Amino acid sequence: MEKICVSGNTVSKWETDKGLSDIGIIEDLAKALGTSVAELLTGELCENDNLPANIKKNFYVY
């Protein structure tokens, strides 16, 4: 809650469908939750089927 500057009451309203978050904090909220904005908005896990994009590439200079 501190990461996105909202109160516990605000989060409780989101969790009980009694309120919605401000669209201006969506990116910060997604970051704080360790997810993407798309996953946050849809509620579905988005997986990247492009395997090379999922692999951390190392470059060596000799």
Tell me how far apart the alpha carbons of residues 4 and 45 are, in angstroms, rounded to a whole number: 22
Q: Looking at residue 54, what is its pLDDT?
A: 52
What is residue 4's predicted lDDT score, i.e. its pLDDT?
81
pLDDT of residue 15: 85
pLDDT in tens, 20-60: 878 888 898 888 888 888 888 887 777 666 656 555 555 55
**Residue partners of 12: CB distance under 8 A and separation at least 6:** 18
Distance between CA atoms of 24 and 31, rounded to whole angstroms?
Answer: 13
